[in-house]
Amino acid sequence: MTETMTVVEIREPGGPEVLVPAQRPVPTPGPGQVLIRVAASGVNRPDIVQRQGNYAAPPGASDIPGLEVAGKVTGLGEGTDPALLGQEVCALVTGGGYAEYCLAEAPLCLPFPQGFPAVQAAALPESVFTVWHNVVERGGLKPGERFMVHGGTSGIGTMAIQMAKAQGALVVATARGAEKAAACLKLGADHAIDSLSLDFEPEVARLTGEKGVNLILDMVGGDYIQRNIKCLATEGRLVSIAFQKGSLAEVNFMPMMLKRLTLTGSTLRIQPLADKRRMAEGILETVWPWIADGKVKPLIHATFPLAGAADAHRLMEANTHTGKIVLIA
């Protein structure tokens, strides 16, 4: 008889109510893969966009939402290191995280940081890989540079603040409301701008002595693109990874040319395994020691049982959280 597991499916595109528990066969790991008995899985903004029908799973990926998991390796595919069996790992996955069992590529499985429970480990992969690739690799953040992140209290934002500080940067964060701005400062940001009461453009100019920031990580898009350009220093870089205010923007290219700016962007989920493997190696070499030294730590806002995924999505869409939302399988 085929072993089954509980998963959370997207019944049809729509609101949180379309997330429903269901039974599916436990998957079998293919070559280079492992099977993880999931203890916890992170909830991320792309899960919501997928649920709404606006972000299809890439070819070959599970249609079950969930991009990061933590748990114990219980099965190995062909060519996988036998030493992984029984190990506690957190993993970046292309889907399937909202389930009791999940397949993961072996090179993207990282050991739990020492002393970390599964809930904290599950909050690491998506945000750490995203920040590492876009801030350190693509953005090229250097010690002593000035870095700004929008949405400083999101899962990505809280990680970006800490990793940029660990990299030796001066950090400016924006957040909606005084309470969230205070949370950014507590996480280590040098400056926090309450975007509900202040215009971040003149504030950045004031805080940097009119120099601007060297790198911006943007998850807002829309009219923030042109506003970000005004905030960048000469040779500055803007990295876009989401567009909550829309993917279209009207841009004046003159300041881009005059300041020799670089505008770039990326999505993590569809990147080739070889590229993600390179990221994993860099993260294990650099970020895991930061975690061990206490410089970087995931901030958990709330946990929900797996069957409560709809409530987890409602919380994320309310935008009242600070840090990560995690499901317990």
pLDDT of amino acid 65: 98
Q: What is the mean pLDDT of residues 316-327?
A: 96
- Domain pair 4-124+298-328 / 128-265, same fold: no
Residue-wise pLDDT tens digits, 4-13: 999 999 999 9
CB-based contacts of 180, cutoff 8 Å, min separation 6 = 152, 153, 194, 322
196 touches 218 (CB < 8 A): no
Residue with tokens 């748990």: 71
pLDDT of amino acid 2: 66
| pLDDT of 135 higher than 70 | yes
Q: Which fold has domain 128-265?
A: Rossmann fold (3.40.50)
Q: What is the mean pLDDT of residues 174-203?
A: 96
| pLDDT of 124 higher than 80 | yes
Q: What is the mean pLDDT of residues 312-325?
A: 97
| pLDDT of 202 higher than 90 | yes
pLDDT of amino acid 72: 99
Q: What is the mean pLDDT of residues 92-112?
A: 99
pLDDT of amino acid 244: 84
Query: What CATH number has the domain spanning 4-124+298-328?
Result: 3.90.180.10
| pLDDT of 117 higher than 50 | yes
pLDDT of amino acid 197: 93
pLDDT of amino acid 1: 47
Residue-wise pLDDT tens digits, 251-292: 999 999 999 999 999 999 999 999 999 999 999 999 999 999
How far apart (Å, rounded) are the C-alpha atoms in residues 190 and 177?
17
Q: What is the mean pLDDT of residues 301-318?
A: 98
Q: Where are the domains of the chain?
A: 4-124+298-328, 128-265
| pLDDT of 329 higher than 60 | yes
328 touches 303 (CB < 8 A): yes
Residue-wise pLDDT tens digits, 154-187: 999 999 999 999 999 999 999 999 999 999 999 9
